[in-house]
């Protein structure tokens, strides 16, 4: 196992994982792994290649040879490309989330993406955002955070986020999507969404980002990671 430290941030959609992970990576000067983006690109690659999300063999082949790249734009935005084609926007739609969670339930797809996720562990450290970062991908992480919030609050956050991006969305539909994705992520046989036994669980339903981040930084300090 690598001696490079990793902090895992897991939890359901809209809990604030991306927000907190980015702040943390920036504060510590560490690398960042958006593992959900790998599942989202796999789902999008299926759409591009004309492969059904239900065709386990074909999806697994795509995941094994996934030609994906992450680059940082001048604006600081992370651009995601599949076969050199920018898919950053397409993968962030609700449809993109549905595709990701459908292909993520295929055990061979998860296996195919495992080594690729571990390659992100480079000095001086890594903040890893996902569902199974603390349970499966980095089980030896010295600090594991599990962020959660009520489904209603997470749907409201997603609603505001998509509206700001100019997408037309319905709040009841988003709540349905979130509950459906929670159920699929929690009930799958391999790497289901659940806190690691040694995770610090933080409920952010009524807690602003700054306070959640301060709570996480206290855990970081307590572990001597900064
Ligand atoms: N504690 C919080 N309180 C209010 N809004 C939040 C909080 N954490 C995150 N958000 C907002 O909720 C939305 C979803 O957060 P994000 O970090 O993308 O969640 P996740 O990565 O868990 O899906 C973003 O618009 C973000 O600004
Ligand atoms: N480590 C991970 C990350 C994401 N995923 C899957 O990919 C989907 C999209 O993940 P994401 O982190 O981009 O989604 P949000 O939490 O941002 O909505 C999730 O619903 C999971 O089904 C996973 O199975 N394991």
- The question of ipTM being above 0.90 is answered as yes
Q: With respect to residue 1, please indicate whether it lies within any of the assigned structural domains.
A: no
pLDDT of residue 94: 83
Q: Is the CB of 209 inside a 6 Å radius of any atom of ligand 1?
A: yes
**What is the reported pLDDT for 27?**
97
CATH number at residue 63: 3.40.50.300
Q: How many structural domains is the chain composed of?
A: 1
Q: Considering the domain boundaries, does residue 136 fall inside one?
A: yes
| Binding-site residues for ATP | 11-19
Q: What is the pLDDT of residue 1?
A: 55
The pLDDT of residue 78 is: 87
Q: Is 35 in the pocket of ligand 1 (CB under 6 A)?
A: no
Q: What is the 3-state secondary structure (H, E, C) of the chain?
A: CCCCCEEEEECCCCCCHHHHHHHHHHHHCCEEEEHHHHHHHHHHHHHHHCCCCCCHHHHHHHHHCCCEEEEECCCCCEEEEECCEECCCHHHCHHHHHHHHHHCCCHHHHHHHHHHHHCCCCCCCEEEEECCHHHHHCCCCCEEEEEECCHHHHHHHHHHHHHHCCCCCCHHHHHHHHHHHHHHHHHCCCCCCCCCCCCEEEECCCCCHHHHHHHHHHHHHHCCCC
pLDDT of residue 61: 97
Ligand 2 neighbours by CB, cut-off 6 Å: 13, 18, 35-36, 39-40, 97, 100-101, 104, 130-132, 181, 185
What pLDDT score does 165 carry?
84
- Does residue 128 lie in a domain region? yes
Q: What pLDDT sits at residue 162? A: 86
State the residue range of the domain holding 151: 6-221
Whole-model pTM over 0.90: yes
Ranges of residues in the chain with a pLDDT under 70 are 1
Q: How remote is the CA of residue 226 from the centroid of ligand 2, in Å?
A: 28
Residue with the smallest CA separation from ligand 1 atom 18 is 18
For position 112, what pLDDT does the model report? 97
Examine residue 82 and state whether it is found in any structural domain, yes or no. yes
Is 226 within the bounds of a domain?
no
Annotated binding site: 11-19
Please report the pLDDT score of residue 159 as a whole number. Answer: 92
């Amino acid at each position: 196992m690598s001696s490079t430290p990793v902090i895992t941030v897991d939890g359901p959609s809209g809990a604030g994982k991306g927000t907190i992970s980015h702040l943390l990576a920036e504060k510590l000067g560490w690398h960042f792994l958006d593992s959900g983006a790998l599942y989202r690109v796999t789902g999008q690659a299926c759409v591009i290649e004309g492969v059904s999300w239900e065709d386990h063999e074909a999806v697994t082949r795509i995941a094994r040879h996934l030609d994906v790249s992450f680059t940082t734009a001048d604006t600081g935005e992370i651009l995601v490309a599949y076969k050199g084609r920018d898919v950053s926007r397409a993968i962030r739609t609700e449809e993109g989330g549905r595709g990701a969670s459908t292909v993520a339930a295929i055990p061979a797809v998860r296996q195919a993406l495992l080594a690729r996720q571990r390659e992100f562990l480079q000095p001086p450290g890594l903040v890893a955002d996902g569902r199974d970062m603390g349970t499966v991908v980095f089980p030896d992480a010295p600090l594991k955070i599990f962020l959660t919030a009520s489904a209603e609050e997470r749907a409201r956050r997603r609603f505001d986020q998509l509206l700001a991006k100019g997408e037309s969305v319905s709040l009841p539909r988003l709540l349905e999507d979130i509950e459906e994705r929670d159920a699929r992520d929690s009930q799958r046989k391999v790497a289901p969404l659940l806190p690691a036994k040694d995770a610090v669980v933080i409920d952010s339903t009524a807690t602003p980002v700054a306070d959640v981040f301060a709570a996480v930084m206290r855990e970081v300090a307590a572990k001597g990671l900064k």
